Amino acid sequence: MAKFQFFQQEIDGSKTTTYLDMRSESFIEEKEQLISAGFEVVGDVIDAPSAEDANQKFKMGFITPVGDYTNATVEGGAATFVIESYKAIRKKLFH
């Protein structure tokens, strides 16, 4: 299984995210180039069989905690319920 490290840079409110395969012989050099260009390491190292899987895990790592935080309150849970109910009804009616 490969190990991937993710990097992010924010310019004028726009975030750019990229990753490197830590098994690559040029990993250290590429990491130094990204850091020099203003990128920062984000998150933990991700073990995954492919870059696509690592990218999915990275995205889930940022999306899931936000959802958990939102649903931690009665208001947030109710809002999530209404939104998801709307999506389900719309999907049944129009698809």
How far does Cα 93 stand from its chain's mean position? Answer: 31
Q: Are 48 and 54 a contacting pair, CB within 8 Å?
A: yes
pLDDT band at 88 (very low <50, low <70, confident <90, very high): confident
Convert the pLDDT of each residue in 31-84 to its tens digit. Answer: 999 999 999 999 889 999 999 999 999 888 754 455 555 666 777 677 767 777
Residue 9 is predicted with a pLDDT of: 94
Of residues 12 and 74, the one with the higher pLDDT is: 12
Helix locations, 1-95, DSSP H: 27-36, 51-70, 74-94
- Can you tell me the mean pLDDT for 28-32? 96
CB 19 within 8 A of CB 3: no
